[in-house]
Amino acid sequence: MTVTMEKPQALDDVLDSLELPPGYKAETIEGQITVTPPPNDEHELVFAELTYQLNAQGWRVSGNSGLLTPLGRFIPDLTVARKQYFTATSGVSWRNPEGVALVVEITSSNPSADRDAKRRGYGAAGIPLYLLVDRDAKQTILFSAPARGDYHTVSSRPITEQVDLPDPFGFAVEELV
């Protein structure tokens, strides 16, 4: 479902007032409210594997952190940061992305948003790394070096190969499927 409105504040008010069935999430992406159904088991397998590998290296991972970006209010599949980032902030649902080291999207019902609008939004927000697990293309794509509203370095690998994460990570994410 997609809803478009003229005024950004009205859009945010509608987003905040939505009552969704369990597992659904609502985001604003480039001026539209996008509602996404719960992920399937293949999506959750990748999610679980990435979470396990990142936690094992001392990183904190959230699957429900709302991020404010210049292109909308996004809820990445994984938000990765140090423990301090996730400190309670008196009920705030939408956070500033400062302090986020990596965001991950695992393609599902709206892969074009993950490939384009969300990539540009995360880049414009200055998030250092964006990992796209593109299940349709069978690739993992690591975007880095955010500047001028997008990422300027791209590294792509088959989904069955490891992905080397640069600093501050300094380790490889192993095979995801």
- Can you tell me which residue has the tokens 């590998």? 53
The answer regarding whether domain 40-173 maps to CATH 3.30.565.10 reads: no
Distance (Å, whole) CA 57 – CA 174: 12
Mean pLDDT across the chain = 90
Distance (Å, whole) CA 35 – CA 99: 26
Q: Can you give the pLDDT at residue 142?
A: 98
Taking residues 114-124, report their average pLDDT: 95
Model pTM?
Answer: 0.89
Of 21-30, 88-97, 104-113, 129-138, the least confident: 88-97
Name residue 144's beta-bridge partners.
Answer: 129, 153
CA 7 to each of CA 11, 19, 64: distance values in angstroms, whole numbers, following the listed order: 6, 21, 25
Q: Are 27 and 36 in contact (CB under 8 A)?
A: yes
Reading the block at residue 37, the tokens are 């159904």
Model pLDDT for residues 33-88, shown as the tens digit of each residue: 889 899 999 999 999 999 999 999 999 999 988 999 999 999 999 999 999 998 86
Give the 3-state secondary structure of residue 58: coil
